């Protein structure tokens, strides 16, 4: 990298949400100048960066103009204008993850094809161009229909149980995939720097909120056997290497009852399944992402303790100026770390913050996490 860490390196982040906010908290320690682009004038990053710009992440000119005077650009969301990033790369701006990686991951269909071409285990699938295509699929019912683009937090994913559900399917280019009868959803975050060095964080187990389809509860390190964990970690490393990505790659996977692992999807950035690394591991996912994109040695990813992460979601039935109930009681407990994301307004299931519970005793950590889950409520 041309510039060193004397405070003159200009790093741009596309997206100003909570992932960007936690990335900034780490980036400050590297003396970088942080520029953020987000369409929301009150985005969580607004008050934490050197320069905040309000604008569309999907508009070519906005992204190009935001980036043209920066040294390096990274993302906290993959729904960004990739053509602009490609033009910036051609002009010498470093873009990590690379625009070609973001382009591939933006489209879940291209991701699935990439898995197939590279012998990465994943559920059987086929493409349909609209709702009508659902009726002549060769994938057996019940199946999952996924929009190829623009899905997030479970929006864009539908279970189609019978032919009568076809009319509720997405009327958009989608993937139809086999419904995986998984025992657990697991994730591995891997980092790769420009020298090709790679490092994985220990595998984590996720519990989803069935109503919101969001990660609600996450346990690290996992209790699964060494074999399963190393299998998941090698799959993550293989994908990072096949992609030649620079930066973090989160690999979401399904673990079946027979110990098989199928890759669900990728995220080329810090991820909800790595928030517990801030307190739970020697290096956090945010610190690791910066090490990777700055081409520095990767940090030690080992766990320091059992860590459980709970997402603080806006309570169902409340919308408006956010209020946080139960924070004081939660903070009175041992090893409790609260992260609020600076979002002024709550709405049902909006990610408003997270809490990490750290405890050397795993069952105590789980017990405390359950307590906190019923204690803290985000209401209006
Ligand atoms: N083939 C499948 N079989 C069974 N369940 C699935 C399948 N694909 C997705 N799911 C369920 O739907 C959830 C959301 O799917 P996916 O991760 O693809 O969507 P997403 O909108 O990108 O989610 P997020 O942004 O939360 O990661 C998965 O975590 C899993 O619980
Ligand atoms: Mg997902």
Q: Residue 156 CA: which ligand is closest?
A: 1
Ligand 1, pocket-test mutation among 109, 121, 154, most atoms within 8 A of CB: 154
User: Is residue 292 within 8 Å of residue 191, measured between CB atoms?
Assistant: yes
CA-based nearest residue to 200, from 72, 290, 321, 288: 288
Q: Atom 15 (ligand 1): residue with closest C-alpha?
A: 154
Q: What is the 155 CA–ligand 2 centroid distance (Å)?
A: 10
- In the three-class reduction of DSSP (H, G, I as helix; E, B as strand; rest coil), residue 342 is classed as coil
CA distance linking residue 79 with residue 36, whole number of Å: 15
* Environment class of 127 (CB within 10 Å of its CB; exposed 0-12, middle 13-18, buried 19+): middle
Residue 262 makes CB contacts below 8 A (sequence gap 6+) with 121, 122, 123, 180, 182, 253, 254, 256
Number of CB atoms found within 10 A of residue 1's CB? 13
Tens-digit pLDDT profile for residues 9-22: 999 999 999 999 99
C-alpha of residue 122 to centroid of ligand 1, in Å: 13
Give pLDDT tens digits for 132-190: 999 999 999 999 999 999 887 778 999 999 999 999 999 999 999 999 999 999 999 99
- CA neighbours within 13 Å on the CB side: how many for 326? 14
Q: How far is the CA of 338 from the centre of ligand 2 (A)?
A: 24
CA-derived radius of gyration, the chain: 20
Distance 13 CA to ligand 1 centre (A): 26
Q: C-alpha dihedral over 281, 286, 287, 292, to 10 degrees?
A: 120
List 355's β-bridge partners, or say none: 310, 338
Helix (H) or strand (E) holding 354: strand 351-359
Distance 27 CA to ligand 2 centre (A): 26
Please tell me the residue having the least CA distance from ligand 1 atom 24. Answer: 153
Ordered by where they begin, the domains of the chain are 10-95 (3.40.50.20), 124-178 (3.30.1490.20), 182-379 (3.30.470.20)
Q: Is the pLDDT of residue 356 over 80?
A: yes
The C-alpha atoms of residue 101 and residue 81 are separated, in whole angstroms, by 13
pLDDT in tens, 278-299: 999 999 999 999 999 999 999 9
Q: How confident is the model at residue 1 (pLDDT cuts 50, 70, 90)?
A: low
Indicate the pLDDT class of residue 4, thresholds 50, 70 and 90.
Answer: confident
Residue 251's pLDDT is: 98
Residue nearest to atom 14 of ligand 1 (CA): 154
Close Cβ partners of 44 (under 8 Å, ≥ 6 residues apart): 16, 17, 18, 20, 21, 341, 342, 343
In the predicted model, what is the mean pLDDT of residues 345-372?
A: 95
The per-residue pLDDT for range 87-127, each reduced to its tens digit, is 999 999 999 999 999 999 999 999 999 999 999 999 999 99
Span 186-203, average pLDDT: 97
The model's pTM: 0.96
Check residues 6 and 122 and name the one with the higher pLDDT: 122
pLDDT tens-digit map of 25-74: 999 999 999 999 999 999 999 999 999 999 999 999 999 999 999 999 99
Mutation choice for ligand 1 from 17, 206, 213, CB with most ligand atoms inside 8 A: 213
List phi, psi (to 5°) of 366. Answer: -65, -45
The contacts of residue 370 (CB under 8 Å, 6+ apart) are: none
Mean pLDDT of the chain: 95
In 42-159, alpha helices (H): 60-67, 82-90, 99-106, 108-117
pLDDT band at 3 (very low <50, low <70, confident <90, very high): low
Q: Give the pLDDT band (50/70/90) at residue 212.
A: confident
Residue to substitute in 157, 213, 250 for testing ligand 1 pocket (most ligand atoms within 8 angstroms of CB)? 157
- For the chain, percent of residues with pLDDT exceeding 90: 92
Which residue's CA is the closest to the ligand 1 atom numbered 27? 153
Nearest CA-CA partner of 127 in 160, 155, 136, 119: 136
Ligand 1 atom having least distance to the Cα of 178: 1
How many whole angstroms from 31 Cα to the centroid of ligand 2?
33
| Distance of alpha carbon 228 from alpha carbon 72, whole angstroms | 37
What lines the ligand 1 site, CB under 6 Å?
Answer: 123, 144, 146, 151-154, 156-157, 177-180, 185, 208, 213-214, 252, 264-265
Three-state DSSP at 253 gives strand
Q: Whose CA is nearest to atom 16 of ligand 1?
A: 154
Backbone angles phi, psi at 147, to 5 degrees: -65, 135
Cα(50) to ligand 2 centroid in Å equals 31
């Amino acid at each position: 990298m041309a510039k060193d860490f004397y405070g003159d390196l200009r790093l741009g982040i596309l997206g100003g949400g909570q992932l960007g906010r936690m990335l900034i908290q780490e980036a400050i320690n590297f003396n970088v100048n942080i520029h953020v682009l987000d369409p929301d004038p009150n985005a969580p990053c607004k008050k934490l960066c050197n320069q905040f710009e309000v604008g569309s992440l999907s508009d070519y000119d906005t992204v190009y103009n935001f980036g043209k005077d920066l040294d390096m650009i990274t993302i906290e969301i993959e729904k960004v204008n990739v053509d602009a990033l490609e033009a910036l790369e051609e002009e010498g701006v470093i873009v990590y993850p690379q625009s070609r990686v973001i382009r591939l991951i933006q489209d879940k269909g291209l991701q699935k094809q990439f898995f197939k071409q590279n012998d990465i285990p994943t559920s059987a699938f086929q493409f349909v161009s609209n709702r009508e295509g659902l009726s002549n699929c060769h994938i057996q019912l019940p199946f999952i229909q996924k929009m190829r683009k623009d899905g997030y937090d479970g929006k864009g994913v539908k279970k189609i149980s019978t032919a009568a559900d076809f009319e509720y399917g997405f009327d958009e280019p989608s993937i139809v995939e086999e419904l995986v009868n998984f025992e657990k959803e697991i994730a591995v975050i891997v980092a790769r720097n420009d020298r090709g060095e790679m490092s994985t964080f220990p595998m984590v187990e996720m519990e989803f909120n069935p109503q919101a389809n969001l990660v609600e509860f996450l346990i690290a390190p996992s209790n699964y056997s060494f074999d399963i964990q190393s299998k998941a970690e090698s799959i993550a490393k293989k994908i990072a290497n096949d992609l030649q990505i620079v930066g973090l790659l989160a690999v979401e996977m399904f673990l079946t009852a027979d110990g098989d692992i199928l890759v669900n999807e990728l995220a080329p950035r810090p991820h909800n399944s790595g928030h517990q690394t801030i307190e739970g591991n020697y290096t956090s996912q945010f610190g690791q992402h910066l090490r990777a994109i700055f081409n520095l040695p990767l940090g030690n990813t080992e766990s320091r303790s059992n860590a459980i992460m709970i997402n603080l979601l806006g309570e169902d039935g409340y919308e408006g100026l956010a209020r946080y109930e139960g924070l004081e009681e939660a903070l009175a407990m041992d090893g409790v770390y609260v992260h609020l994301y600076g979002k002024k307004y709550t709405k049902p299931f909006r990610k408003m913050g997270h809490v990490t519970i750290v405890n050397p005793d795993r069952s105590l950590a789980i017990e405390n996490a359950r307590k906190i889950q019923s204690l803290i409520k985000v209401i209006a």
